[in-house]
């Protein structure tokens, strides 16, 4: 069953749906004043961010992100329109935290790409960082590493074309014969990710601002929420397939047409260094 991401959030006024959402960024009704491109680029590269500025970057992202969001809708949800704004340069996926030694293939393909716009790439990094930083506030303790939080799936919503990313954290919990007796292959080897209640929050949804189809206006700001998949809740009941309910996995193609995977990988040595790879 495919869901329309835009319509899905419109019905969030219902109490049972609201109980299944944990906001990482509060809601806003009126547009804020957009920063100029140079200041946004400086801000995205800066480590010093306050909560209000982070919120504004979720509600109303930099112009290249808004352009991509409008392109998604204006193209009629055409994945190729997104592919065409990727830099054609092929980037081999390097060894990530010993992944090659363990024969672990983290990504869909052995190579990745990036957007032509460096600001788009910086914004993707920002999303990973802000999720990791704010997760503990709602009970999601994540680490940016290859066992835990390193990827998301960029999609175009089924009916509206709204641009979104479904992120997955807690990707490879450690094998434990008592609490997680599941073998997940080579990439699980060496994991120290604990299987606990925070697994309920492993699905994080970002939606870009939604453009009007009849004008240059915007119908809705950006959104960043955690989907609470605790057993007994509406998310668990309606979105978690029974065969993966132990992993609390929501599949990205339930929200729309998947365009690319977005990976944020630690390619550093003793000093972490994270880079975007789009596959």
Global pTM reads 0.89
| 144 is a domain residue | yes
- Give Cα separations from 19 to 114, 161, 245, 251 (angstroms): 36, 26, 19, 20
Whether pLDDT at 143 is above 60: yes
Farthest CA pair distance, the chain: 57
Number of domains in the chain: 1
Q: How confident is the model at residue 226, as a pLDDT?
A: 94
Higher pLDDT: 210 or 31? It is 210
Q: Using CB atoms within 10 Å of the CB of residue 86, give its burial: 0 to 12 exposed, 13 to 18 middle, 19+ buried.
A: middle
The stretch 75-94 carries a mean pLDDT of: 97
| 220 is a domain residue | yes
Question: What confidence tens digit (pLDDT) does each residue in 220-230 have?
Answer: 999 999 999 99
| 44 is a domain residue | no
Among 2, 8, 3, which residue's Cα sits nearest to residue 223? 8
| 31 is a domain residue | no
Domain that holds residue 207: 73-278
Are residues 59 and 209 in contact, defined by beta-carbon separation less than 8 angstroms? yes
Q: What is the DSSP letter of 141?
A: -
- Contacts of 124 by beta carbon, 8 Å cutoff, 6+ apart: 115, 262, 264, 276
| 57 is a domain residue | no
Among 142, 84, 137, 141, which residue's Cα sits nearest to residue 113? 84
| 27 is a domain residue | no
| 37 is a domain residue | no
Count CB-CB contacts under 10 A for residue 174: 16
Q: How confident is the model at residue 39, as a pLDDT?
A: 45
């Amino acid at each position: 069953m495919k869901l329309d991401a835009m319509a899905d959030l419109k019905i969030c006024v219902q109490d049972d749906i609201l109980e299944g959402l944990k906001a990482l960024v509060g809601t806003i009704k009126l547009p804020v004043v957009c920063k100029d491109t140079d200041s946004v680029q400086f801000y995205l590269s800066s480590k010093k961010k306050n909560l209000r500025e982070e919120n504004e970057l979720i509600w109303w992202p930099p112009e290249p992100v808004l352009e991509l969001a409008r392109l998604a809708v204006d193209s009629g949800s055409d994945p190729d329109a997104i592919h065409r704004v990727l830099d054609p340069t092929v980037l081999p996926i390097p060894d990530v935290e010993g992944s090659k030694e363990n024969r672990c293939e983290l990504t869909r393909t052995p190579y990745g790409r990036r957007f032509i716009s460096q600001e788009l790439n910086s914004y993707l990094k920002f999303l990973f960082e802000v999720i990791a930083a704010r997760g503990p506030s709602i009970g999601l303790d994540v680490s940016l590493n290859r066992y835990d939080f390193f990827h998301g799936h960029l999609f175009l919503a089924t009916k509206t074309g709204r641009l979104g990313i479904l992120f997955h954290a807690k990707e490879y919990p450690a094998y434990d014969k008592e609490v997680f007796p599941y073998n997940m292959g080579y990439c699980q080897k060496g994991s120290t990710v604990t299987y606990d209640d925070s697994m309920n929050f492993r699905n994080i949804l970002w939606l870009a601002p939604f453009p009007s189809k009849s004008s240059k206006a915007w119908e809705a700001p950006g959104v960043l929420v955690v989907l609470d998949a605790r057993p007994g809740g509406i998310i668990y009941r309606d979105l978690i397939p029974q065969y993966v309910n132990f992993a609390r996995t929501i599949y990205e193609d339930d929200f729309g047409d998947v365009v690319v995977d977005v990976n944020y990988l630690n390619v550093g040595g003793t000093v972490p260094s994270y880079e975007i790879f789009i596959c």
